[in-house]
Amino acid sequence: QKEVEQNSGPLSVPEGAIASLNCTYSDRGSQSFFWYRQYSGKSPELIMSIYSNGDKEDGRFTAQLNKASQYVSLLIRDSQPSDSATYLCAVKGYGGSQGNLIFGKGTKLSVKP
């Protein structure tokens, strides 16, 4: 069974610090990787997507992918209280439709002022 594992947290960091969120996945054939942010009572919104090994930066966010280790992470620099949310890691297999998109249970991040 294909699985995506995340530490449920909560992860608590002070304002201005770097928050590091981690995710591992079981399917070696996975090709696409996504980080979503979900505020309480709201639907997820896409933060980052990454498809190849290495780092991808977008503003304060950096996604890191290591396919050999089946590991993907999200770094949030200069964390703000507004970043407090649950972060979902999602993984998609090779080909196919969105039906292959598997979500982790999410890591709850709390940024303290």
Partner 1 sequence: GAVVSQHPSWVICKSGTSVKIECRSLDFQATTMFWYRQFPKQSLMLMATSNEGSKATYEQGVEKDKFLINHASLTLSTLTVTSAHPEDSSFYICSVGRGNTEAFFGQGTRLTVV
Q: Which residues pair with 57 in a beta bridge?
A: 62
Q: Count residues contacting partner 1 (CB under 8 A)?
A: 23
Q: Which amino acid is at 22?
A: N
Q: By C-beta, is 69 or 98 nearer to partner 1?
A: 98
Q: By C-beta, is 31 or 70 nearer to partner 1?
A: 31
Contact yes or no for 2/93 (Cβ under 8 A) = yes
Contact yes or no for 13/107 (Cβ under 8 A) = no
Of 74, 76, 90, 91, which lies in the binding site for partner 1, with binding defined by CB under 8 A? 90
Find the binding residues for partner 1 in span 49-88 (CB under 8 A). Answer: 49, 88
What does residue 109 show for φ and ψ, rounded to 5 degrees? -105, 135
Interacting residues toward partner 1 by CB under 8 A:
31-32, 34, 41-46, 49, 88, 90, 92, 95-99, 101, 103-106
